Amino acid sequence: MKLPRLAEQELIAAIRADFSGKKQGGLALGIGDDAAVIKPGGENLVLTTDLLVEGSHFLRSLYPPYLLGRKSLNVNISDVAAMGGRPLYALLGLGLPPSLPRSWVERFFAGMRSAAEAGRVRLIGGDLALAEKILISVTLVGQAKTFVRRSGGKPGHLLFVSGYPGRANAGRELLQSGVRSGRDRAADRLIKTFLDPVPQVELGLRLSKLGAASAMLDTSDGLSVDIDNLCRESRVGAEILADYIPISPELKRLRKSPLQDALYGGEDYGLLFSVPPSKLSAVAKLEKEFCLSRIGRLVPGGKVYLLDPSGRKTLFVPRGFRHFK
Amino acid sequence: MKLPRLAEQELIAAIRADFSGKKQGGLALGIGDDAAVIKPGGENLVLTTDLLVEGSHFLRSLYPPYLLGRKSLNVNISDVAAMGGRPLYALLGLGLPPSLPRSWVERFFAGMRSAAEAGRVRLIGGDLALAEKILISVTLVGQAKTFVRRSGGKPGHLLFVSGYPGRANAGRELLQSGVRSGRDRAADRLIKTFLDPVPQVELGLRLSKLGAASAMLDTSDGLSVDIDNLCRESRVGAEILADYIPISPELKRLRKSPLQDALYGGEDYGLLFSVPPSKLSAVAKLEKEFCLSRIGRLVPGGKVYLLDPSGRKTLFVPRGFRHFK
């Protein structure tokens, strides 16, 4: 989420309408999900692209190039994970200021290589350009025997999230407020979640293999927006139980409003997914391994509500998450 | 070609070495050609990505957004054409300044749609971001039953180029010097070649089907650099006959040194390819339809020579072509 939210959604809707005219052979899923899916031969290929812009998505002064290299690849791997796919190949478009030290570029590539090795991704092509600000454009190709859309959620399905939402954004705020690594372990953990997110490939694959997720996306825009996206694509509403939202111990210790962090912070790169009741027992077996929390359920209609412990029900308005601006 | 040439080549070589470690199943061709080729099922998929940066690749004041939308897609289509492939799907990463008028964005997408329809390409996904300068990152997926590398040229093969090299760069220089469309037909044609290049998909497909091109790339960096790239990848040298270089009538009429334009201008997006003697008669049949010129031949060794009509032989030093900077 980078443009003013409404403008971005409007633009995507226009593009989607504009380019959705004729069905083309081999396209299984087009604009609007975490990734597109094509079926050139027998197999589904998952395709996704992400643009990272210095000043909009990261500040050079706060971001070690090694970790930026890792994150550039990992945010795309996360999109493939959200489809239940396995990442395979990457293409890299890189815009670099002429003044950038050589060591920066070397560290960036070392980081990207480490993420590529961890994710078993191979860099197969790219383009280099001069630019005033650092620009990183990664396109990732993955495979998925079966894939999970955003749009398969039905009323009655339960909503789960992996990990502790809000940690990454809290880490970002700590970093921006001048907190540096190495002084407080809890702060370090939050900052690491922000700087070096871990895509949930294994969880996505397991859910997809089990046929357990009816809709899925990765939590990148903040929980309120992510839930809204899943509901809009699935044409359902949701009831979210505020006291079921998992709050990490670090947020409790260091932050004033940990629940607000969890509801509105972005860039966690966990998975948010809905589960039909028939698959609950299968998902229960993954709960501990992948730190899953059941946070609510899908309901008819398009509205999302937040229920507090007293049972009070309020509209859960998606609040745009912004990167650095 | 955007970074200072040597730095870019050095960087690509380093990346190539860095990421070429383990062979991964399904990869047919990696970094260093016009596009990468993967083989996920039975079929070859061609993948390429290009980054266009305002100020480096185009000036907003000189570039109508409609034509920029067309060109953003067409330069990628040209890379697929240079593999002998057929374009299928596109992903778009777009960075937009918040101050950009809505009409600019609409015209840009209208242009991209027109190129997509002409090239039978479908936009299947993308990413939007805020940025200070306009950034356009297009990734294109194509298919190719057989594909043509840069590296298959052998001594004795003849070198061909399509169209009239140097027109696009001359058009760019006219535009930058203040010449505007609608005053002189010859100038208009050059400017159009620059603003709205036509990728040579049909030629690439025909050559690939005939098995007639042993090595091929698209002419984007200027002929001297493009020939050097083909020779380096094929590990051969070349002898180029200066008076066989096709000079367009417009260059003759409007430019001081039309041969220099043809040798060093870039962004033509024609095809440069080598042909084994056994395939010369097949290629001869395409000469008129695709405006092909035989400009020289590949020779042993790594050096490229330019032969003038008197038979004088000089080293043909590749001279970096720069976009706007």
Per-domain residue ranges of chain A: 5-144, 158-315
* pLDDT score for B79: 94
The pTM assigned to this predicted structure is: 0.87
| A296 to chain B, closest Cα gap in Å | 29
Range ranked top by mean pLDDT from A116-130, A309-323, B191-205 = B191-205
Own/partner pairs for B208-212, CB < 8 Å, 24+ apart?
Answer: B208/B83, B208/B84, B208/B85, B208/B144, B208/B145, B208/B146, B208/B147, B208/B148, B209/B84, B209/B146, B210/B279, B210/B282, B210/B283, B211/B146, B211/B279, B212/B275, B212/B279, B212/B282, B212/B283
Lowest mean pLDDT: which of A107-111, B5-9, B251-255, B291-295? Answer: B5-9
Nearest to A47 among B91, B116, B133 (CB): B91
Indicate whether A24 pLDDT > 60. no
Q: Mind listing the pLDDT tens digit for each residue in B273-323?
A: 999 999 999 999 999 999 999 999 999 998 999 999 898 999 998 886 554
pLDDT-derived band at A199 (thresholds 50, 70, 90) equals: very high
CATH class, domain A158-315, is alpha beta
B-chain residues near A94 (CB < 8 A): 51
Coil/strand/helix, residue A282: helix
Lay out the sheet containing A304-307: strands in order across. Answer: A215-218, A271-275, A158-162, A292-299, A237-241, A304-307, A313-315
Indicate whether A2 pLDDT > 90. no
pLDDT-derived band at B43 (thresholds 50, 70, 90) equals: confident
* pLDDT score for B77: 96
Under 8 Å between Cβ of A298 and A236: yes
Q: Does A10 touch chain B (CB under 8 A)?
A: no
Q: Mind listing the pLDDT tens digit for each residue in B145-181?
A: 888 899 899 999 999 999 999 999 999 999 999 988 8
Instruction: For residue B96, give every residue at least 6 positions away whose Cβ sits within 8 Å of its Cβ, in sequence order, or none.
Output: A3, B105, B128, B129, B130, B131, B134
The CATH architecture that domain B5-143 belongs to is 2-Layer Sandwich (3.30)
Q: What homologous superfamily does CATH list for A5-144?
A: PurM-like, N-terminal domain (3.30.1330.10)
Interface touch A15/B126, C-beta < 8 Å: yes
Q: Does B122 touch chain A (CB under 8 A)?
A: yes
C-alpha–C-alpha distance, residues A32 and B57, integer Å = 29
Check: complex ipTM more than 0.85: no
Q: Mind listing the pLDDT tens digit for each residue in B183-225?
A: 899 999 999 999 999 999 999 999 999 999 999 999 999 999 9
Q: Does B101 touch chain A (CB under 8 A)?
A: no
| B126 to chain A, closest Cα gap in Å | 6
Interface touch A125/B35, C-beta < 8 Å: yes
Q: Does B128 touch chain A (CB under 8 A)?
A: yes
* pLDDT score for B19: 65
Q: Does B17 touch chain A (CB under 8 A)?
A: no
pLDDT-derived band at B20 (thresholds 50, 70, 90) equals: low
**Residues comprising chain B, all counted:** 325
* Strands A135-144 and A86-96, sheet pairing: antiparallel
Q: Mind listing the pLDDT tens digit for each residue in A28-69?
A: 777 777 788 888 877 888 999 999 999 988 899 989 999 999
Interface touch A51/B11, C-beta < 8 Å: no
